[in-house]
């Protein structure tokens, strides 16, 4: 904790704002928008660095500089969690940034709607955190990434002013789509106060089919066969566990449609376990929550063309196996995304882990597979960042951050913090 951060925390506590000391820096939990504005204004005025968070569960996605003294105060939106507006007729929902995704899903379910994204452990994820991390669930297969469903937001900018982009209605198209830019910004551009989302009709029926294969390639070939069918699956997930690869196909929609689609998928997969309705919903939640096992996020995320998935998974598995590691995989085949989990003790020696990550990156690079570090030691973030920062996307993100936050008030560890 920095001396300036401690002084700011004491001032906020005297003003009646809840401040806790749960980690390397104090965490302020404002109970109103006015308190959020006051915190950001004071930080900007005094040259302090604020780290916007929700519940803090996704900080492993980012570089950990903020946990090492480059942050004066964390700003948690967990108290601002109410629903502002739910319009069943329009199929839209507006809620505060601290609202839990599970609570929002149950709210709209009562009105006949479903919420997307369906993220892992939704009762431990806030709306603002999901948008900041641009976290899409397995239902991305049908609905696409989360940014496609954000209709509008209200935010606090780095100087303490409140700004808005978009609106609460599907047909509201005024101004620039900055609300989509904020998705994935990880606290570098603003503090999200509230957001409006597009909703979808709750399906009449669901079905889940699971087939097991001895390797990734036949499982991915089966996924391609499913893709070729004239259907729109809710989600298609590949789970690699020990020596088996399980392909999960989830369907949802009108009763007769789902029944026909399930028969077609079963014909393609062959020997598959089939679940319907409540059994399918429970299984979907179980597979969804594999995205964070036992409180741990995956070590890496591989992103590539779907056609490169078989070689990416096989290369990673052989690479890890030669080093005595048994990785687990969780993939969204249609999106070309693979999350890689490593054993719990794989990160006990940071130096050797840095070498492992660098070698794996170099192994995958010729196939144009991008390796993003998630829950890894700080040294691994830095080692991979030296390569990732050289690309044009990183330069554009840096320019955007400097435009939105020229004083560097927001101390998100997505980028190296500047003095």
pLDDT tens digits along 157-212: 999 999 999 888 766 556 678 898 899 888 889 999 999 999 999 999 999 999 99
300-388: CATH topology is Alpha-Beta Plaits (3.30.70)
Helix-helix angle 350-364:309-321, to 10 degrees: 150
The whole-number pLDDT of residue 169 equals: 78
**What integer is the mean pLDDT of 123-137?**
93
pLDDT digits (tens, 9 = 90+) for 336-360: 999 999 886 555 566 677 888 889 9
Task: Express each pLDDT in 211-239 by its tens digit.
Answer: 999 999 999 999 999 999 999 999 999 99
DSSP state of 199: -
Average pLDDT over residues 96-121: 96
Task: State the fold for domain 205-291.
Answer: Alpha-Beta Plaits (3.30.70)
- Provide the pLDDT for residue 31: 94
Residue 380: C-alpha distances to residues 68, 163, 352, 359, 386 (Å): 15, 36, 10, 12, 10
User: For the whole model, what pTM was predicted?
Assistant: 0.90
The model's confidence at residue 69, banded by pLDDT at 50, 70 and 90, is: low
pLDDT band at 107 (very low <50, low <70, confident <90, very high): very high
Statement: 1-202+389-419 belongs to CATH 3.30.465.10: yes
Q: What is the mean pLDDT of residues 404-413?
A: 82
For the chain, give the secondary structure using H, E and C. Answer: CCHHHHHHHHHHHHCCCEEECCCCCCEEECCCHHHHHHHHHHHHHHCCCEEEECCCCCHHHCCHHHHHCCCCEEEECCCCCCEEEEECCCCEEEEECCCEHHHHHHHHHCCCEECCCCCCCHHHCEHHHHHHHCCCCCCHHHHCCHHHHEEEEEEECCCCCEEEEECCCCCCCCCCCHHHHHCCCCCCCCEEEEEEEECEECCCEEEEEEEEECCHHHHHHHHHHHHCCCCCCCEEEEEEECCEEEEEEEEEECHHHHHHHHHHHHHHHCCCEEEECHHHHHHHHHHHHHHCECCECCCEEEECCHHHHHHHHHHHHHHHHCCCCCCEEEEECCCCEEEEECCCCCCCCHHHHHHHHHHHHHHHHHHCCEEEECCCCHHHHHHHHHHHCCCHHHHHHHHHHHHHCCCCCECCCCCCCCC
pLDDT of 274 reads 96
Lowest mean pLDDT among 147-151, 361-365, 382-386: 382-386
How confident is the model at residue 343, as a pLDDT?
Answer: 81
> Which pLDDT belongs to residue 67?
46
Of the ranges 65-74, 160-169, 255-264, the best mean pLDDT one: 255-264
Q: What is the pLDDT of residue 252?
A: 97
Nearest Cα neighbor of 357 from 306, 304, 316 is 316
Looking at residue 386, what is its pLDDT? 57
- pLDDT-based confidence at residue 416 (cuts at 50, 70, 90): very low
178/176 Cα distance (integer angstroms): 6
Task: State residue 417's pLDDT score.
Answer: 34
- Residue ranges of the chain that CATH labels 3.30.70.260: 205-291
pLDDT value at residue 419:
28
Quote the percentage of the chain above a pLDDT of 90: 59
- CATH 3.30.465.10 maps onto the chain at 1-202+389-419
Mean pLDDT for the chain overall: 87
Task: Inform me whether the pLDDT recorded for 125 exceeds 70.
Answer: yes
As a whole number of angstroms, the distance between CA 103 and CA 411 comes to: 29
Q: 289-299 pLDDT, tens per residue?
A: 999 988 888 98
């Amino acid at each position: 904790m920095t001396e300036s951060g401690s002084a700011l925390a004491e001032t906020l506590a005297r003003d009646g704002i809840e401040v806790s000391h749960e980690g390397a820096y104090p965490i302020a939990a404002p109970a109103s928008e006015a308190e959020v504005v006051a915190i950001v204004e004071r930080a900007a005025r005094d040259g302090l660095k604020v780290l916007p968070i929700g519940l803090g569960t996704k900080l492993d996605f980012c570089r950990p500089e903020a946990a090492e003294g480059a942050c004066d105060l964390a700003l948690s939106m967990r108290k601002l969690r109410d629903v502002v507006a739910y319009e069943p007729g329009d199929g839209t929902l507006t809620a505060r940034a601290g609202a839990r995704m599970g609570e929002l899903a149950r709210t709209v379910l009562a009105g006949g709607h479903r919420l997307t994204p369906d993220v892992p452990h939704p009762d431990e994820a806030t709306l603002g955190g999901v948008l900041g991390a641009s976290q899409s669930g397995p239902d991305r297969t049908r609905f696409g990434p989360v940014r496609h469903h954000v209709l509008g937001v209200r935010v606090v900018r780095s100087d303490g002013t409140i700004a808005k982009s978009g609106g609460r209605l599907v047909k509201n198209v005024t101004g620039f789509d900055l609300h989509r830019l904020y998705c994935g910004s990880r606290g570098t551009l603003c503090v999200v106060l509230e957001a409006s989302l597009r909703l979808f009709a709750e399906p009449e029926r669901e079905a889940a089919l699971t087939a097991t294969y001895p390797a990734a390639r036949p499982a991915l070939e089966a996924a391609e066969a499913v893709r070729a069918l004239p259907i729109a699956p809710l989600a298609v997930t590949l789970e690699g566990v020990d020596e088996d690869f399980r392909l999960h196909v989830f369907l949802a929609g009108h009763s007769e449609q789902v029944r026909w689609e399930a028969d077609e998928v079963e014909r393609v997969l062959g020997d598959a376990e089939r679940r319907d309705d409540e059994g399918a919903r429970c299984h979907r939640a179980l597979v969804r929550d594999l995205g964070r096992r036992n409180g741990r996020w995956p070590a890496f995320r591989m992103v590539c063309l779907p056609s490169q998935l078989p070689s990416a998974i096989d290369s990673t598995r052989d690479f890890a196996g030669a080093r005595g590691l048994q990785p687990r995989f969780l993939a969204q085949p249609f999106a070309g995304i693979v999350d890689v989990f490593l054993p719990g003790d794989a990160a006990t020696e940071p130096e050797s882990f840095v070498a492992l990550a660098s070698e794996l990156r170099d192994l995958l690079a010729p196939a144009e597979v991008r390796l993003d570090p998630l829950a890894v030691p700080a040294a691994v973030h830095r080692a991979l960042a030296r390569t990732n920062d050289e690309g044009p996307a990183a330069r554009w993100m840096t320019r955007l951050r400097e435009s939105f936050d020229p004083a560097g008030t927001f101390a998100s560890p997505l980028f190296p913090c500047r003095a």
